[in-house]
Structure 1
Amino acid sequence: MSKEREMVKKKGLPPGSLVYVGDEEASTTKISIIDYLGENLVERKVDQVEDILPYTDSQSVTWVNIEGLDDINVFKFIRDEYGVHPLLIEDILNTEHRPKINILNDYVVMILKMVWFNKEEVEIEEEQISIIIKDQTIFTIQEREGDVLEPVRKAIRQNLGRIRNMSAGYLVYSILDAIVDQYLIESERISSDIEQIEEDMVMNPDQTVLQQIYYYKNIGMHLRKIVWPVKEIITGLEKTKVIDLNTGFYLKDVSDHIIHVMDTVEMTRTMAANLLDVYFSSVSNKMNEVMKVLTIVSTIFIPLTFIAGIYGMNFMYMPELDEPMAYPVVWGLMIAMTLGMILYFKRKRWF
């Protein structure tokens, strides 16, 4: 069902009604758990959402990953069992929502976007990911299977770094870091493509290059909408009680990364805008060169046309017509005028 039809379906319902809103059909909901504390690790998939309760009630760090928004009962369970406000659950199910953070007394809800750059289609593909922080339990809720969080899972499984010995706040940092790193990778890739377009444009500023510039300009605007609110999210997260001081230090690193991404995105947008100016300047210069050649040719032929017009008149009494040398003299005059004008234009550096 299209987003427009879903919005119509949602119209008239009371606030907090759980209705999926997105560009594509909601995929089947799948739930997986990673539960760890030091050397202890449990990773499994669950069939019923109620099966997560024994893990979330323990002192270990529990990462509940939900893929797919098809089963509304899963989100009703989160709402009722963990006390997440219905309006926030409603926002999670609306995949068109702007990235944001909501900080309440005992939990935090964040909505972000994961991005991938599709070079063949020249567009940004995005997927919404919502993060709920509740004590030592972290929920990540995605539209469909596939994400950028596999490095985090690998670090937990193989006990790499400090993650298995840190709090849930460190897991939140790791998830945010993976998402922001993907922003950086894709923004650098887009920036590199724009530089290549600039080189192509200098060699051949045709309509294909113009179309590519417009595509990348729109991509820059789209990426800016996704990335810009993340700085606000990280700043808000640094002020919450769910993040301890040690994890707060790591969040500053993510904050530095997102600033780098923002700078890269702004540079990309500026480059695309500048390329448009350069393109139109190149086309204008090219047109000016053509007009200059045409003007010179026209200017040369004006006096020749004048002379030919005079001697093309059908008068009986034209003195020059009786002269034997009149024809070669006229030709010589026209050739001399042509050469003289070309030399004059050359001296003026008009070509």
Structure 2
Amino acid sequence: MIRQICNKEEHGYDWIDINAPDDGELQEIASSYGLHAALVHDCLQPGHLPKYESLDDYAFIIFRVYTDYDLLEADTVQELTNKVAIFYSASFFITIHRYPQPFLEPVIKKGTLLKNTHQLLNAVVRACLTTYDEPSNKLAQSVDYYEEQVFLSKRNMPILKGLYYLRRKIDLLKRMLMLSRDIIENIDDHQGNVNTRDTRDLYVKLSTIYDSLNDNINQLLNTYFSTASQRTNETMRVLTIFSVFFMPLTFIVGIYGMNFKFMPELEHPWGYPGVLLLMLIITVAVYFWFRKKRWL
């Protein structure tokens, strides 16, 4: 669907927004504004990563925005982000996307108040960056939750799968922001002003947040593995202590369980209580030996 938001006669430039385009609509726009066929082809690739490409009389931008359909186990570019393609020059501004993008509506409402396409580009890119703001808060809360489960919970919760998908999300969104750096650099260049500086500041802030989240989740994973290993070692220590207690007792029982006819202790009146007393002495000796070694 093609929607014209601004026109050159009233605003000095054309702004055309295209939602869920087909080949015919893209070819029509491409021929009207002289767009390169290879760049139009990039608009149709759903998994294309962020890029900035400058031509003689216009620039082509692909920005990936965070999707509203956040699934618990989403961990791919297409599951976590949507692509917005932008053709930008002094006389026209074209936005292309496969799905409706709610974050664009506030920009559309004030689009008629913007003086030129550079201001419009800054507003759109800033709106794109804003889509990463709320997810960063949710991811930070998730990191806090898993951190509490790792350090404070006494239950053996199967949290490794959740940590894996959380790490994948943070890492992927961090890479999307990193790949968008060229776009920010070209917006806040010699034409930059207070508004473009705010956009750069927002980008730096989000990049810092996702860097911090990435470091935190990696440290949390390492801590989880260390804690799991420590719990396993603790279990093995307890089992080893029990085995040390029972090994000599089992040895004694094994001896007197042999079916030999001539075993003097079998006919001794104090044989049975004597063996029990010997087992008790061995058990107490092992206990105090462990206490001396501080293993108990």
Question: Do the aligned partners of 1:213 and 1:276 also contact (CA within 8 Å) in 2?
Answer: yes
| Pairwise CA distance, 1:84 | 1.6
Q: Deviations over 1:77-120 (max 9, x none)?
A: 22222122121111122222121111122211111111136554
Secondary structure of 2:215 counterpart: helix
Q: Which residue pairs with 1:130 in the alignment?
A: 85
| Pairwise CA distance, 1:205 | 6.7
Alpha-carbon separation, structure 2, partners of 1:198 and 1:287: 19
- Say how many residue pairs are matched: 291
**Change beyond 3 A, Cα 1:237–1:144:** same
Alpha-carbon separation, structure 2, partners of 1:154 and 1:165: 10
Report sequence identity in percent.
Answer: 29
The question of 1:83 aligning with 2:34 is answered yes
Question: Do the aligned partners of 1:114 and 1:147 also contact (CA within 8 Å) in 2?
Answer: no
Q: Unpaired runs of 5+ in structure 1?
A: 1-29, 36-54, 157-162
Q: 1:186 aligns with which of 135, 138, 141?
A: 135
| Pairwise CA distance, 1:338 | 0.8
Q: Which residue pairs with 1:38 in the alignment?
A: none
After TM superposition, the structure 1 stretch with the greater mean CA deviation from structure 2, 122-131 or 147-156, is 147-156
- Normalising by structure 1, report the TM-score: 0.76
| Pairwise CA distance, 1:327 | 1.2
Secondary structure of 1:121 counterpart: coil
- Normalising by structure 2, report the TM-score: 0.89
| Pairwise CA distance, 1:56 | 3.4
Secondary structure of 2:180 counterpart: helix
What letter matches 2:186 in structure 1? Answer: G
**What are the equivalent positions in structure 2 for 1:186-335 lying under 5 Å apart?**
186-202=135-151, 203-204=153-154, 206=156, 208-239=158-189, 245=191, 247-335=192-280
After TM superposition, the structure 1 stretch with the greater mean CA deviation from structure 2, 315-324 or 299-308, is 315-324
Alpha-carbon separation, structure 1, partners of 2:31 and 2:12: 22
Alpha-carbon separation, structure 2, partners of 1:323 and 1:122: 71
The question of 1:104 aligning with 2:75 is answered no
Question: Do the aligned partners of 1:99 and 1:111 also contact (CA within 8 Å) in 2?
Answer: yes
Q: Deviations over 1:44-63 (max 9, x none)?
A: xxxxxxxxxxx235553443
Q: Deviations over 1:249-301 (max 9, x none)?
A: 32222122112222222222222222221222111111111111111111111
Alpha-carbon separation, structure 2, partners of 1:200 and 1:79: 54
Question: Do the aligned partners of 2:11 and 2:115 also contact (CA within 8 Å) in 1?
Answer: no
Alpha-carbon separation, structure 2, partners of 1:348 and 1:169: 75
What letter matches 1:265 in structure 2? Answer: Y
| Pairwise CA distance, 1:222 | 1.8
Q: 1:145 aligns with which of 71, 80, 100?
A: 100
**Change beyond 3 A, Cα 1:143–1:117:** closer
Q: Unpaired runs of 5+ in structure 2?
A: none
Alpha-carbon separation, structure 1, partners of 2:239 and 2:176: 50
The question of 1:94 aligning with 2:45 is answered yes
| Pairwise CA distance, 1:213 | 0.7
Secondary structure of 2:259 counterpart: coil
Q: Deviations over 1:31-79 (max 9, x none)?
A: 22223xxxxxxxxxxxxxxxxxxx2355534432110122x22222222
| Pairwise CA distance, 1:313 | 2.5
**Change beyond 3 A, Cα 1:259–1:130:** same
Question: Do the aligned partners of 1:191 and 1:264 also contact (CA within 8 Å) in 2?
Answer: no
Root-mean-square deviation (Å): 2.2
Higher RCO (CA 8 Å, separation ≥ 6 residues)? 2
